[in-house]
Amino acid sequence: MTAKTIYNLDTDALPSAWLNIAAQIPYELPLPIDAVTGEPPSVESLAKLYPSECARIELLVGEYKTAPRIAIPTAVLAEYAKYRPTPLYRARGLENALGYAGAIYFKREDFNPSGSHKPNTSLAQAYYGKADGLSRLVTDTGAGQWGTALAYSCRRFDLDCSIFMTRKSYTDKPYRSTMMRLCGAEVFPSPSDRTKTGRDLLAEDPHHAGSLGIGMAEAVEYVNSVSNTRLALGCMSYYAALHQTVIGLEVEDQVKLTGDVPDIMIGCVGGGTNFIGFVAPFIIDRINGHNNIDFVAVESASIPVLTDGEYRYDFADYAGFTPKVKMYTLGHDFVPPPIHSGGLRYHGKSPILSLLYHHGQLRATSVQQEEAFAAGRLFLEHEGILPAPETNHAIAQVIREVKRSMAEGVVRNIYFCFSGTGYLDLKSYADAAAS
């Protein structure tokens, strides 16, 4: 009998509702505030920036304030059903390579359209944008995972799409933009000549590497200059975190299949939504005293937002165009060094992640990119799966936890979120091997 490695769920196990974390925890999620008034903007005002339903989510209006779950619209569910539920794999190859007696499981969000967890929210955002009668969504993207997901989602819901892609990633991952364009999107390397923010930065340095914060500033400026257009955000919103809870809801069912109750749950954090989505039901259970799982958010050592930042109100974008959100931040004018994990190059962390971290509900740690790439290569050699550079940070932490457990003589069940494929990041692997 061959040992079981793949834990599938049937279509009827696809969650029909998202988990409304903010309504289920004893801490109040701070709302975005207007930089001038210091007060939360009205829904009408915020709906000039985001699709109106996203603005309602962000301001916790109506059911978003109180309902424990939020029904997933039928059209979004139909798109989810094309690729979800995603399988949970047991990393038997990695376990053997490390000589570990415990179990390591990973959730395959790389199987999703465009190769990452991102469509879980981009499909919903495009749906809400179309419902508003918009003609276009605009966004920024770092590694390109978010841009490809949004480009595909806009194609599904018949919207135009404009993407400001961090110049460092645009250059390192030329085929990410090819894929966005195949889905009909327009893509600009950021800083770009399309906005004043971009032009000012290019005047200082024509080869400016860019950052997620700069791309977001350009996207907001672009939204304000093009009619019937709104901003789509991959991670820095509560709505993105809400949509990603489909991941954790499925994992909850899959844990019942494995029979191995998680001791540790690990995810990489850029903005933090794949991690939050992955742990959401488990962290609520822990707050309610139903488990004692060790949740570990792994960031890049080059951008130590949780491990070295401050918890305060700050702008989500570089230029200060967006409302302020309460989060861990290195300062909105922090320009991250050009590491290969473009998706982690951001000065802040999602408000819901920041809130839970502030209240001690998760651990944060950081990994240098050399350790991350070594972990990714080991994973490839033993599992045959090439992780995204961002995902490598989670795998590096898994390896650390395995070594710690073995040193302590303790067997722990470790779960991590395999947030995206590395097939489109091979230049980063090649460059990292050469450096």
| Least separation in angstroms between CB 228 and a second copy | 22
Structure tokens at 135: 């003609």
Instruction: Report the Cα 417 to chain-centroid distance in Å.
Output: 11
Question: Among residues 255 and 386, whose Cβ is nearest to a second copy?
Answer: 386
Question: Among positive and negative, which fits the CA dihedral 171, 176, 181, 185?
Answer: negative
In the complex, least distance from residue 144 CB atom to a second copy, rounded to whole angstroms: 11
Residue 131: which residues within 8 A CB-CB, separation 6 or more?
A: 51, 53
Are 108 and 79 spatial neighbours (Cβ–Cβ below 8 Å)?
A: no
Among 101, 203, 410, 426, binds a second copy (CB under 8 A): 426
The first and second tokens of residue 319, run together, are 């230029």
Tokens matching residue 296: 């570990």
Of the pair 87, 304, the CB lying nearest a second copy is at: 87
Smallest distance from a second copy to CB 10, Å = 7
Phi-psi region of 231 (alpha: psi -120 to 50; beta: other; left: phi over 0): beta
Taking the least distance from each CB to a second copy, the nearer of 13 and 101 is 13
Q: How many helices (H) and strands (E) does the chain have?
A: 18, 15
Rg (CA), the chain: 20
Q: Which distant-in-sequence residues (6+ apart) come within 8 Å of 386 by Cβ?
A: 376, 380, 421, 422, 423, 426, 429
Q: How far is the CB of 379 from a second copy (least distance, A)?
A: 11
Q: Is 251 in the site for a second copy (CB under 8 A)?
A: no
Which position among 232, 240, 386, 394 is part of the footprint of a second copy (CB under 8 A)? Answer: 386
**Nearest CB to a second copy, comparing residues 344 and 378:** 378
Q: Tell me the β-bridge partners of 231.
A: 138
Among 32, 41, 51, 113, binds a second copy (CB under 8 A): 113
Sign, Cα dihedral of 114, 264, 392, 2: negative
* Interacting residues of 196 by C-beta distance below 8 A, sequence separation 6+: 221
Nearer CB in complex with a second copy: 153/350:
153
**Does the protein bind a second copy through residue 291 (CB under 8 A)?**
no
Site size toward a second copy (CB under 8 A) is 56
Q: Is 249 in the site for a second copy (CB under 8 A)?
A: no
Indicate whether 48 belongs to the interface with a second copy (CB under 8 A): no
Residue 175 within binding range of a second copy, rule CB under 8 A: yes
- β-bridge mates for residue 414, sequence order: 104, 264
Residue 14 or 23 having the CB closest to a second copy: 14
Q: Among 69, 75, 135, 184, which residue sits at the site for a second copy (rule: CB under 8 A)?
A: 184
Are the CB atoms for 235 and 142 separated by under 8 Å?
Answer: no
**DSSP at 86:** P
Could you give the string, one character per residue 200-239, with x where binding to a second copy holds by CB under 8 A and - elsewhere?
----------------------------------------
Nearest to 109 by CA among 425, 385, 427: 385
Per CB under 8 A, which of residues 55..84 are in contact with a second copy? Answer: 77-78, 80-83
**Structure tokens, 229:** 């257009």
**399-418 footprint of a second copy as x/- string (CB under 8 A):** --------------------
Binding-site member from 99, 259, 384, 409 for a second copy (CB under 8 A): 384
Nearer to a second copy (CB atom), residue 186 or residue 294: 186
Closest CB to a second copy among residues 1, 407 = 1
Which residues are registered as beta bridge partners of 188? 164
Q: How far apart are the first and last CA of the chain?
A: 45
Region of 99-107, 126-134, 349-357, 384-392 interacting with a second copy (CB under 8 A): 384-392
Pairing status of strand 324-329 against strand 310-315? antiparallel
The residue ranges that bind a second copy (CB under 8 A) are 1-6, 8, 10-12, 14, 16, 77-78, 80-83, 85, 87, 89, 92-93, 111-115, 119, 152, 155-156, 174-175, 178-179, 181-184, 377, 380-386, 421, 423-424, 426-427, 429-430, 433
